[in-house]
Structures are given as structure tokens and as C-alpha cells.
Amino acid sequence: MTDCPPSRNYRREQATVHTSNRRYIIETGMICPSKIKTVAIALALAFVSSTHGAAVSGEITLKETDSFAKECFVKAFGDTLKATTSWRVGDFFGKQTVFAGVTVKNTGTKPLTFEYCVAFYDKNRKLIGAASQSYLSDDGMKPGLELQLGSCMIKLPKDKYKEIKFYEAVLYEMAPQPSKAAPAKTAKK
């Protein structure tokens, strides 16, 4: 995984990053932006592998509509947390906007928190826009609870949404992590 120019001092050393289900080999002798990028990707993969993520991707044609009930792109995905998309294009305070929200339901038996990420690409798979939203409470999302995430909006230049041809979305499930905030201090009298 290198695109560094060869040099006389270039040594081929390697480090290995192990995740729960994969192994990534990084050439540590690289001195170039490629090394930084490779290490960053490996660290991100190691973090993400500590969670469980369900992903969905494919081709898409978004429609412009003035209502959430009409012409939405609907796709269901997920494991314990079930996500259902309701993507469309519309006006948001005078700006053409991709509404990329989902409804998430906890079908499991334990509380969970989550991160939802979505990205849209043109025909050459070049990024047009992306959004994300989280539910990271100390208690987690209770079993049976259903939440609608409506804040995932991508404001685009006029008619830019017409270039969107592909999408990728992921929903990461995580156990709640209670915050380690210091207890509140009371005022002295």
C-alpha cells in the first residue's frame, strides 16, 4: 500500500494493526503523505471495528418534492438497530437541500447508542455531500424505542443534487458509555 517515490534510503519496514476480524499491514519506512494516510485509515478501522456497523450502498436518483410523504428514497438496513431511510430533495429556508434522515428502531433487548453517516456521489464516485447524526446518551436507546433523525441535511448549489448517482450509508451500533463527568459542585453559603 505505497505510492511513495523510491529513494536510496527507503527501507521496507512493516507494522501490523489487528482488528477483531481483519489485519492491516502498514509500511512504516515510508516518508510521505501516503504513510500518514495509511496510518490514519488503519487507526480509524481499528476504532470502528470496536463497534458493529451495518452498511448499505447503491445507485440512486433523488427527487425534488415539497413533502416527506411523496417521492422519498426508502431503504431499510441494520442488525439490532433497524434504520429506514426517507431521503428526498426539497427547500430549506431558500436553499436546495438533500434531506438524508432515517428512522432508527432498537429491536434488541439492550439499550444501544449509534452513529449514522451517509454520503452521496456523482457518476465518477466523486463526493457531492455527506452528513451524520448520533444518539450518544449515557443510558442508550431503550429496546423498542423508535427515533426519527431529521437533522441530516446537505445544502447544495442549485440543481447539484441532479448529479447524485450513488450513495453509501452506515449505522454503527455501540453499547452506552456513561460519561465520566465530575460531579456538580454546590455553591457554599
**Residue 154 has what pLDDT?**
94
Structure confidence by residue, pLDDT tens digits, 117-169: 999 999 999 999 999 998 888 888 999 999 998 888 999 999 999 999 999 99
Instruction: Return the domain boundaries, the chain.
Output: 14-48, 53-174
Structure confidence by residue, pLDDT tens digits, 4-55: 455 444 444 444 444 444 444 544 444 555 555 555 555 454 444 446 788 8
Rounded to 5, what percent of the chain is helix, strand, coil? 10, 40, 45
Burial 77-89, CB ≥16 within 10 A → b, else e = bbebbbbbbbbbb
Task: Tell me phi and psi for residue 105, to 5 degrees.
Answer: -125, 135
Task: Please check whether residue 16 is in contact with residue 32, taking contact to mean a CB–CB distance below 8 angstroms.
Answer: no
Q: How would CATH label the architecture of 53-174?
A: Sandwich (2.60)
Q: Where are the alpha helices (DSSP H) in the chain?
A: 33-48
Which residue in 99, 169, 172 sits closest to 141, CA to CA? 172
Q: Give residue 176's pLDDT band: very low, low, confident or very high (50, 70, 90).
A: confident
